[in-house]
């Protein structure tokens, strides 16, 4: 079945570092991918919609200069957290809609980001 | 405003027992409703999908129901296992496209 791979699964880094997270659709093409943020015991919060070949669409309140999204191919979207600070520490998840009608979103396994 | 409300927020049951999770929504127009299971530190995995015309759908020990008139759905877990311990998230999609509306999830703990 459709699989979405997310890498890395866990990042610990110093404040001020920029961190890149990759999201790949392994056996299907995804012109659209989604990036979420999840705090402990909270639901997923959509941050932005990544569109292949065009600019990402950001949700209200999400800083596009802080969270850079690049969807360079039909199977890869990247999220870069620039100059990360402790308040950026969270669980980041990507998803891509499966091919076909009424296919579910296929989620990556998430990236745990810890900024010291 | 499109909303998805889940209850209970958390639930503890003994291994082998059954349980039912609830999802009420106000999303309109409605396209489909999915239940996802999210293990701690992992991404959500789809369990079932319900479209407007479907009332019941099963996936192994998981059975989802949908009442599109009252905008309610339930997820019934039969003969629970320790591995069922996870967060169960109700996600409702509107006809406007990929707009997903997430519930806050029900945290289920199955104890020996």
Residue A25 has pLDDT above 70, yes or no: yes
In this prediction, residue B35 carries a pLDDT of 96
Q: What is the mean pLDDT of chain A?
A: 92
Of the candidates B36, B43, B49, the beta carbon closest to that of A109 is on: B43
Residues from chain B that touch A49, judged by Cβ atoms under 8 A, are 98
CB contact under 8 Å between A108 and B43, yes or no, is yes
Q: pLDDT by residue (tens digit) across A41-69?
A: 888 999 999 999 889 999 999 999 999 99
Beta-carbon contacts of residue A15 (< 8 Å; ≥ 6 apart)? A84, A85, A86, A115, A116
Q: Chains A and B: how many Cβ contacts under 8 Å?
A: 46
Confidence at residue A98, expressed as pLDDT on a 0 to 100 scale? 81
Q: Does B107 touch chain A (CB under 8 A)?
A: yes
Question: CB B98 to CB A95 under 8 A?
Answer: no
The per-residue pLDDT for range A84-112, each reduced to its tens digit, is: 999 999 999 999 988 776 678 899 999 99
Q: Which residue has the tokens 């293990």?
A: B39
pLDDT tens, per residue, chain B with 112 residues: 779 999 999 999 999 999 999 999 998 888 889 999 999 889 999 999 888 888 999 999 999 999 999 999 999 999 999 999 999 999 998 875 567 889 999 999 999 9
């Amino acid at each position: 079945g459709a699989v979405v791979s997310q890498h890395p699964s866990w990042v610990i880094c110093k404040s001020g570092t920029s961190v890149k997270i990759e999201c790949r659709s392994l056996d299907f093409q995804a012109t659209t991918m989604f990036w979420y943020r999840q705090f402990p015991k909270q639901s997923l919060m959509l941050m932005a919609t990544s569109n292949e070949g065009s600019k990402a669409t950001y949700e209200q309140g999400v800083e596009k200069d802080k969270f850079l999204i690049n969807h360079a191919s039909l199977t890869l979207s990247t999220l870069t957290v620039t100059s990360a600070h402790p308040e950026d520490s969270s669980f980041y998840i990507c998803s891509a809609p499966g091919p076909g009608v009424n296919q579910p979103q296929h989620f990556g396994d998430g990236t745990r980001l810890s900024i010291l | 405003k499109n909303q998805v409300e889940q209850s209970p927020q958390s639930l503890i049951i003994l291994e082998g027992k059954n349980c039912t999770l609830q999802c009420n929504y106000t999303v309109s127009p409605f396209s489909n409703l999915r239940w996802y299971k999210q293990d701690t530190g992992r991404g959500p995995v789809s369990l079932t999908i319900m479209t407007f015309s479907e009332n019941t759908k099963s996936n192994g020990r998981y059975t989802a129901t949908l009442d599109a008139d009252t905008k309610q759905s339930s997820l019934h877990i039969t003969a629970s296992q320790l591995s069922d311990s996870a967060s169960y998230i109700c996600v409702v999609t509107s006809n406007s496209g990929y707009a997903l509306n997430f519930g806050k999830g029900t945290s289920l703990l199955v104890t020996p």
